[in-house]
Structure 1
Amino acid sequence: MKPRKRLSKWLSPGLGLKRWAILGGVALGLVVLGLWSMVNNQTAKQFTYDVVHFLQLNLPDLSFWQGLICVFIGIGLILYSSMQVSSRFHSTKGSSIDAYYEETILANGPKIVVIGGGTGLGVLLRGLKKYTSNITAAVTVGDDGGSSGKLREAFDVIPVGDIRNCIVALADEQDIMEKLFSYRFAKGEGLKGHSLGNLLLLGLTAVQGNFQDAVANIDQVLHISGRVLPITMEPLTLVAKMTDGKRIVGECHITDAEAAIAKLSIRPGDAEVLPEVLAAIAEADAIVLGPGSLYTSVLPNLCVKGVTEALAKARGRVFYVCNVMTQPGETTNYTATDHLQAILAHSQEGLVDYVIADDGTTSSDVALADFITGGGAHVQVDAAGIKKLGADLVTAPLVASDNPYRHASLPLAKTIMETLYNDNYFRLHRGLVKSYWDWQTYKHRKDLDT
């Protein structure tokens, strides 16, 4: 790195280093003052140099003992300043100024709450952690199928599969952790079909006594960029009222239904949102709903008591990330406006500030048919309908080049962050130091795309 660029990093506001460097300089001055006073009282007449004469004229006239006290105070402050600087570097992933600078950018990033579930939430988190470490993932707990469903039924705990995916997405060593936590046992009585991550979370819950402490312990081991919380501590059962009048109970049955969904509800109906989630929403600069299955990953969270009210009172901007493709059975023939209308019907009007949607321009070498079953199609975006519902539409190329059915992590995160950075209300409340770090992140966003 060029010396000038490195110096600019040292001088950046909010690093927490300059104050200790200044204190160290003041301490060194005290040592010099003390030593000079001690020498001046004993042998000052022997010195005739101009510099000595200058010091005699300009430094305070202290006694020998006062000088000695200054020396000890100065040495103590130098040691204290050195320890403070050293502790900051030891707390980072690397010992260089570059590593510390990068961590400071993330630590000063916006506070973002992401609400949802399924694989979509993990995709978004992988991108957002490049911009900020102040992330709270509030995850749905309505899953009743697969490994999570079996463990939920056997041990009467909230399903852990979606939570596990979010933890892996935010982990430092993401690739290694994903292989480890997602490993599924292919055989073994009682083990077949279960993922190692689910079993680990279940075991830690038994050891710690509650699920929140178990997740907190995993956070410390994996050094995740943020925190992961269940939306509620009550295992939820999803109930869908269909357009043909039938009621379907259970997530795995809802996704298999052929009729369209008219309304979603949860059991127990009085399940309350986790207090930590409420606190995170209240402090957030942005709250992101989705991406993920509309009726089984996103809307169940809005049905939890207290969530809609918290979002309505939140000072942060509310985003909805519309799915790239319609989901057969859940959102067949849905437009982006239909997705937003369902969100508002299960919460309240005017709740969403921005709708993020794919602009349909991403090319892919992968055949779309490889990812579509049962009539799924690209979600059509109708700007007029979204505007009529009170939200601003933001479109960009968001589809992964290797999978036209999914979002690409970094382009999606970049679009959300750029929209937030350009929001006047957000910028007005950030303050000078954090606005500086927003600018630094925005300036280097091309590096984050790689």
Structure 2
Amino acid sequence: MRQRAGDQTGSRRGELVDRSRRAVQWLQPGLVVKRWVLTSALGFVLALLGAAIWADLKPIYWTLTTIDDLLRVLAGAGREFTGPLVLLVGIGLVLLGQSRSFGSIQRALAPQKDTALVDALLAQRRLNRGPNIVAIGGGTGLSTLLSGLKRYSGNLTAIVTVADDGGSSGVLRRELGVQPPGDIRNCLAALAREEPLLTRLFQYRFTAGGGLEGHSFGNLFLSALTAITGNLETAITASSKVLAVQGQVVPATSADVRLWAELENGERLEGESNIGEAQSPIVRLGCTPPRPAALPRALEAIANADLIVLGPGSLYTSLLPNLLVPELVEAIGRSHAPRLYICNLMTQPGETDGLDVNGHLRAIESQLASIGIQQRLFDSVLAQDALPAGPELDYYRSKGAEPVDCDLDGLHEQGYRVMLASMQGPQQRSQGRDFKGTLRHDSRSLALAVMRFYRAKAKRQND
């Protein structure tokens, strides 16, 4: 019994300390709360003064008389005792009123969330002060990066390729004539701040049903909104409001882009889904129509960026298609923001066989040269540190993939600034022959490495 009573006392004490801490947090600058509370108080006093003047000052006289009588009564008990008592009662009433008021606001705005309102406001202030980051890419790599970066900044822009022609996106593109929504859907879900159930609904993929099997709800939702609003950009804006997206998602172009690739053996492949299965090294990538126009929002985001990131993702089907939009490339070239290329962990059979980090960079520079850009856009590289041996690595090697090696000395000689980090997700253990693990970037580790690069760059510039 004594132990239980002690636990309860300790719990109450901890709760009191926690409440006191939150009360002090309301005094921190930048919450944009105190100024409006004081404004309301001043307005209340002025309203009372105006009413008193209108009533020929009689209410003021009555109020002062009442206060004077009350003070005389209280002072009779000894001002050394009465003064502190009245002061403490007044402070207690103010704190109680503020606590209950903000508690009511918290329950009204977010009844299911446990985060205290002051903590939520402090977190939002920190995110609002985060850097303007533009992430360019597509596929799962971009959505993984975004889900990590949203912990550090609310000023995120994802510029997404719209060249996908496989799976659910490909079917909707062929049958409805809409731009492929799959990569955009993944980015919206990654940046969503709304309830997890709504995000899961957006990512839900039908496993049965004639005509529905294989489609995700989010793809259908975006396609329907595109048909209603007339363009994908407006549909994305509407979806962003539904999911309370932190930042913005912008297609690289509004054109109906179709990829093609020329291989080393002279063969030409049409379509993004076919390029990923190339049987010979890719020597050139292009699209139809050539030189598609960029969206103004994408150009504006790049112009205002504090950091521009390319990758991670499939080199020829997720990253380079964005660089087929000349206006995007020119905007990146004009930007004074640091530019970072994030390399993949593993090679992709049929797309990047045998390429190390240097090979990936050469492919990017070759692609830029093909549209007349000789400037090196990404001179900083984030690459994976040596991957530990294990069943995951053996599994990937059995499928024809290898770790993307990084020749630090060679890259430094070419003028690249290289940062190595451990960015893979938690190691998964094999279960006999049924191992189906993945070696992918972990969103937290990846975002942490990117922010370390940005902070180090900003520090050098300030020094």
- Relative to the length of structure 2, the TM-score reads 0.76
Displacement of 1:210 after TM fit?
Answer: 1.8
Displacement of 1:344 after TM fit?
Answer: 2.4
Corresponding residue of 2:206: 185
**CA distance in 2: counterparts of 1:176 and 1:15, whole angstroms:** 29
**CA distance in 2: counterparts of 1:417 and 1:260, whole angstroms:** 34
Corresponding residue of 1:385: 410
Displacement of 1:222 after TM fit?
Answer: 1.2
CA contact (8 A) 1:20 1:84 kept: no
Q: Describe how 1:18-37 pairs up with structure 2 within 5 A.
A: 18-24=34-40, 26-27=42-43, 30=46
Displacement of 1:346 after TM fit?
Answer: 2.2
Aligned CA distance change for structure 1 residues 392 and 420 (closer, same or farther; 3 Å): same
Name the stretch that deviates more: 115-124 or 86-95: 86-95
SS in 2 for 1:422: helix
Matched, 1:413 2:447: yes
Displacement of 1:10 after TM fit?
Answer: 2.4
Displacement of 1:335 after TM fit?
Answer: 1.1
Q: 5+ residue gaps in structure 1? A: 53-82, 430-450
Displacement of 1:267 after TM fit?
Answer: 1.3
CA contact (8 A) 1:350 1:390 kept: no
Aligned CA distance change for structure 1 residues 349 and 8 (closer, same or farther; 3 Å): farther
Corresponding residue of 1:67: none
**CA distance in 1: counterparts of 2:248 and 2:307, whole angstroms:** 15
Displacement of 1:173 after TM fit?
Answer: 4.9
Displacement of 1:142 after TM fit?
Answer: 0.8
Corresponding residue of 1:207: 228
The one-character-per-residue Cα deviations of 1:252-307 (angstroms, maximum 9, x if unpaired) are 11111111111211111121111111111111111111110001100010111211
Corresponding residue of 2:137: 116
Aligned CA distance change for structure 1 residues 425 and 46 (closer, same or farther; 3 Å): closer
Name the stretch that deviates more: 17-26 or 286-295: 17-26
The one-character-per-residue Cα deviations of 1:122-165 (angstroms, maximum 9, x if unpaired) are 11111111111211111101111111111111222211111111
Match of 2:313 among 292, 301, 323: 292
Aligned CA distance change for structure 1 residues 43 and 395 (closer, same or farther; 3 Å): closer
Match of 2:376 among 350, 371, 379: 350
Name the stretch that deviates more: 355-364 or 142-151: 355-364
**CA distance in 1: counterparts of 2:124 and 2:349, whole angstroms:** 42
SS in 1 for 2:256: coil
**CA distance in 1: counterparts of 2:35 and 2:125, whole angstroms:** 15
Q: Describe how 1:228-267 pairs up with structure 2 within 5 A.
A: 228-267=249-288
Aligned CA distance change for structure 1 residues 12 and 44 (closer, same or farther; 3 Å): closer
Matched pairs, number = 399
CA contact (8 A) 1:324 1:406 kept: yes
**CA distance in 2: counterparts of 1:385 and 1:339, whole angstroms:** 14
Displacement of 1:342 after TM fit?
Answer: 1.8
Corresponding residue of 2:302: 281
**CA distance in 1: counterparts of 2:380 and 2:409, whole angstroms:** 14
**CA distance in 2: counterparts of 1:96 and 1:174, whole angstroms:** 17
SS in 2 for 1:165: helix
Displacement of 1:369 after TM fit?
Answer: 3.3
CA contact (8 A) 1:17 1:85 kept: no
Corresponding residue of 2:118: 97
Corresponding residue of 2:395: 370
Corresponding residue of 2:33: 17
Match of 1:131 among 141, 152, 158: 152
Corresponding residue of 1:63: none
Matched AA of 1:351: L
Displacement of 1:378 after TM fit?
Answer: 0.7
Corresponding residue of 2:423: 398
CA contact (8 A) 1:168 1:174 kept: no
Match of 2:342 among 321, 324, 335: 321
**CA distance in 2: counterparts of 1:109 and 1:412, whole angstroms:** 17
**CA distance in 1: counterparts of 2:62 and 2:25, whole angstroms:** 45
SS in 2 for 1:367: helix
Displacement of 1:425 after TM fit?
Answer: 6.6
**CA distance in 2: counterparts of 1:177 and 1:363, whole angstroms:** 39
Displacement of 1:309 after TM fit?
Answer: 0.5
**CA distance in 1: counterparts of 2:207 and 2:415, whole angstroms:** 49
SS in 1 for 2:326: coil
Q: Describe how 1:132-147 pairs up with structure 2 within 5 A.
A: 132-147=153-168
CA contact (8 A) 1:142 1:238 kept: yes
CA contact (8 A) 1:240 1:264 kept: yes
CA contact (8 A) 1:172 1:224 kept: yes
Aligned CA distance change for structure 1 residues 43 and 154 (closer, same or farther; 3 Å): closer
The one-character-per-residue Cα deviations of 1:36-68 (angstroms, maximum 9, x if unpaired) are 97677789899989x99xxxxxxxxxxxxxxxx
Aligned CA distance change for structure 1 residues 362 and 178 (closer, same or farther; 3 Å): farther
CA contact (8 A) 2:333 2:375 kept: no
**CA distance in 1: counterparts of 2:63 and 2:153, whole angstroms:** 59
Report % sequence identity.
Answer: 40
Matched AA of 2:415: G
**CA distance in 2: counterparts of 1:363 and 1:7, whole angstroms:** 51
SS in 1 for 2:439: strand
Corresponding residue of 1:301: 322
Displacement of 1:27 after TM fit?
Answer: 4.5
**CA distance in 1: counterparts of 2:63 and 2:325, whole angstroms:** 80
Displacement of 1:251 after TM fit?
Answer: 1.2
CA contact (8 A) 1:114 1:288 kept: yes
**CA distance in 1: counterparts of 2:399 and 2:424, whole angstroms:** 20
CA contact (8 A) 2:178 2:226 kept: no
CA contact (8 A) 2:291 2:324 kept: no
Matched AA of 2:454: L
Match of 1:153 among 156, 165, 174: 174
Corresponding residue of 1:219: 240
CA contact (8 A) 2:103 2:117 kept: no
